[in-house]
Amino acid sequence: RIAYVNGRYVPHATAGVHVEDRGLQFSDGVYEVIAIAGGRPIDMTGHMERLARSLRELRIAMPMPARPLRMVMREVVRRNRVRNGIVYLQVNRGVYRRDHPFPPAAVPPSLVVTARSGLGPSAAVTEEGVRVVTVPDQRWARRDIKSVALLPNVLAKQAAREAGAYEAWQVDADGAVTEGTSTNAWIVTRDGTLVTRPLGDDILAGITRHTLIALARADGIPVEQRAFTVDEAKAAREAFTSSTTLLALPVVRIDDAVVANGAPGSITRRLRELYHIHMA
Ligand code: PDD
């Protein structure tokens, strides 16, 4: 396997950043995960726009213009012979003697790109649906930035796995679900309306979320962007969780409550179908 690190294509096994990289020391960086399906990137424009926004919000420079950056990603995908998988990209504020304030403007950001085959959970998991557990949302107040500072997400995901669940849905002080640790959260109400939390600084603007809303609307499925509580989710007709890697993954249990009859719902299935057409 091959990785790209700061201008070089290097063996993945020994690829690394400098010990004084601010990504390592301060989690001072941002990332993107882009799906590759049939050898092609999915929703690349959306991911690039979100990357530019994350960098702008943190005042980190773009490591290179968008076009060459896309070429680097294409090259990493090619060199790793990825047909279906993901490309991972991370930009850190750069390498400098450890000190909290930004380094001088002349210090370039660092860029790492990797790619690997394999996209999403097994067909069996997708067919059956998964369980999520709910946990308090302990993250910072700028979850709209795709920061690599993911410690609360890591702890919540680990708690989910230790409870035998696939994902943790994080809950705000009002009892409303914000999002998963690496996914956006959705329900379908009794009357067949798709509900997901509105964009703001309390969730990440998922690219899959954006695409799913567009696909649903075009298919005549009503969409409402509003917060929903854990109780509402437990009583919902369907639930699912979305990301670049999972698409729309059916959720059939929330904590100890079974969602509807405990099987993936028809609207979730329909959205997966539409998403596969979108990727083809
Ligand atoms: N996670 N919410 C959070 C907190 C996320 O980290 C992600 C993505 C999403 C879904 O966004 P998208 O649809 O653009 O993938 C929502 C990536 C996949 C990850 O951390 O691996």
Q: How confident is the model at residue 14 (pLDDT cuts 50, 70, 90)?
A: very high
Contacts of residue 93, Cβ cutoff 8 Å, sequence gap at least 6: 22, 23, 26, 28, 29, 58, 60, 102, 103, 107, 109, 110
Give 188 Cα–ligand 1 centroid separation in angstroms. Answer: 20
Q: Which residues are part of the catalytic machinery?
A: 146
Q: Find the mean pLDDT for residues 266-271.
A: 98
**This prediction's pTM:** 0.97
Measured in angstroms, how far is the CA atom of residue 182 from the centroid of ligand 1?
4
Q: Measured in angstroms, how far is the CA atom of residue 165 from the centroid of ligand 1?
A: 18
Could you tell which of 27, 244, 245, 272 is best to mutate to test the pocket of ligand 1, judged by most ligand atoms within 8 Å of the CB?
244
Q: Per residue in 96-144, pLDDT tens?
A: 999 999 999 999 999 999 999 998 899 999 999 999 999 999 999 999 9
Mean pLDDT of 89-98: 98
Ligand 1-lining residues (CB < 6 angstroms): 33, 179, 182-184, 204, 206-209, 242-245
Model pLDDT, residue 162: 98
Residue 221 has pLDDT above 90, yes or no: yes
| pLDDT the model gives residue 120 | 87
Helix or strand (DSSP H, E) at 90: strand 85-92
Sheet of 85-92: strand order equals: 8-11, 2-5, 110-117, 85-92, 29-37, 40-41
pLDDT at 56: 98
* Predicted complex: ipTM over 0.85: yes
- Write down the pLDDT at residue 167: 98
pLDDT the model gives residue 151: 98
Residue 53's pLDDT band, with cuts at 50, 70 and 90, is very high
CATH number for the segment(s) 2-117: 3.30.470.10
Domain ranges in the chain are 2-117, 123-279
Q: What's the mean pLDDT in 211-228?
A: 98
Q: 123-279 belongs to which CATH class? A: alpha beta
